[in-house]
Amino acid sequence: MRQHHRTPRLLGTLLLVAAAGLSVVGAAPAAAARSATPLGQVVPAPASVDAGGSAYRITGGTSIRVDDTREARRVGEYLADILRPSTGYRLPVTSKGGGGIQLRLADSKLGAEGYRLVSGRSGVTITARETAGLFHGVQTLRQLLPAAVEKRSVQPGPWLVAGGTIKDTPRYGYRGAMLDVSRHFFTVGQVKRYIDELALYKVNTLHLHLSDDQGWRIAIDSWPRLATYGGSTQVGGGQGGSYTKAQYKEIVRYASSRYLEVVPEIDMPGHTNAALASYAQLNCDGVAPPLYTGTDVGFSSLCVNKTVTYDFVDDVIRELAALTPGRYLHIGGDEAHSTSHADYVKFMDRVQPIVAKYGKKVIGWHQLTGATPAKGAIAQYWGLDDTSAEEKAQVAKAAQNGTGLVLSPADRLYLDMKYTADTPLGQDWAGLVEVKRSYDWNPGNYLPGAPSSAIRGVEAPLWTETIVTSADIDYMAFPRLPGAAELGWSPASTHDWDTYKVRLAAQGPRWDALGIGYYRSPQVPWPAS
């Protein structure tokens, strides 16, 4: 089949195809025109789309055919769990027979996460080299079905998938979102909910900010007061909370079932008041400060010249690495204003080898480039468009010397920034970040002097000084999160605000069906309620 890169012109063609009507098994062409979502109207934009031919209709006779492997069956059951409540159909998952919906693992050139989706009169087939690709293909299939498919009660349908072929691979291997569970604590169930929302847009990394001045959120057996005392509060003085090791492992397991890798962060040497309050010996003067429930930054620091500091760091990293099957461990490193530059460099020189000792690669906020990043380390850039040229050059030089970069510019991708001055939640220190501003930039050429080959991907952090509930998370993440996901997944050639805002608007009814409350940006042409 012909394959075309999606462009604004192609999207118009797809809309015309849909308007012209498609032939569908068991449905008149007019019904298909009303119901079949155009093949390219998904987020993130697919790498290539070839639209046309008959649509497929899911019926009571449809089955989900999977390869006879545990991994493929798991993806098939995931799909069935989405489709059964709204369609009312049995949709058996089987390794026998053909037709219907097929999930196939095959040796292909689609990479670790790519997939091919082919839809026609007799069925829909998703092919991938790895099960992660099958899972991402299933997310595309969800978006090709009516938004009502997301509801948990029987809906009228019809359940049509437009005809044609999508061939799709990600631009970047790191497509992340960060949730700060330190400023306000979020339960395992709340984190799982966010994981499901991330998975819908092919995000593959969940960065958990597990420690800060206001709370320590993970049990460490060798330093138990970190969680029991350091985790006992949060911003504003609420009761806080922390994860047992079993709970953290459940988050990791659930994320893995959605093909997300968890990156745990223990911020250091600053942002450490919860630890300093828990253990007096971690302070240079041997005096524990009180617990902290405010929102100021930069006032705390581990004692760089004490041996016990590195015993502490070794224990924490050892225990956390043992719980975390992923490749990375984030050591923070930002806003260490109470640590001298010489001490900061000394600290990072001591701590990075500890991460390597326990089999993990270092990620740090981009201030890590002010020291000497370890071989294979990643620096996470959170500066602004108007961050000083000197600071940007420091990061770019590290990238030129082999340090990978994940881009999280605060005035683009920080999901806790207010949309407008009237936004009831969030902050505005990095500026106001409306939906277009969040989407309309290119990670490949964003940081002057940084080679494009150094860019590992993007991440959208959500800091929680003002975020207390899952509804708060939803309101600040949507509709900006899908744009961040598209920046990470889709080819640069597909990047166009005018066509993106139309595809984004079509997500609104899906969020309504999923119970996701979102900011109805006036920049986006949302469908009428």
Q: Which amino acid is at 514?
A: L
Name the residue among 421, 410, 516 with its Cα closest to residue 472: 516
Q: Is 336 in contact with 272 (CB distance < 8 Å)?
A: no
Which residue out of 250, 335, 434, 459 is catalytically annotated? 335
Angle at the Cα of 338 (from 335 to 341), degrees rounded to 5?
Answer: 80
Give the torsion sign (CA, 337, 343, 345, 349). Answer: negative
Convert 69-108 to b/e letters by CB count within 10 Å (16 or more is b): eeebbbbbebbbebbeebbebebebeeeeeebbbbbbeeb
Q: Are strands 164-168 and 115-120 parallel, antiparallel or unpaired?
A: antiparallel
| HSE, side-chain direction, 13 A CA sphere, residue 23 | 5
Nearest-CA neighbor of 164 among 334, 280, 39?
39
As a whole number of angstroms, the distance between CA 159 and CA 91 comes to: 13
* The pair of three-digit structure tokens given for residue 242, joined into one six-digit string: 């922390």
Distances in Å between the alpha carbon of 222 and those of 226, 318, 467? Answer: 9, 10, 31
Name the DSSP class of 163: S
Tokens of 128: 């991938």
Q: What is the DSSP letter of 465?
A: S
CA distance 122 to 99: 6
335 is annotated as an active-site residue:
yes
| Spatial distance between the Cα atoms of 301 and 183, rounded to a whole number of angstroms | 17
A 10 A CB-CB count for 392 gives: 20
What one-letter code names the amino acid at 384? L
Q: Return the active site residues.
A: 335
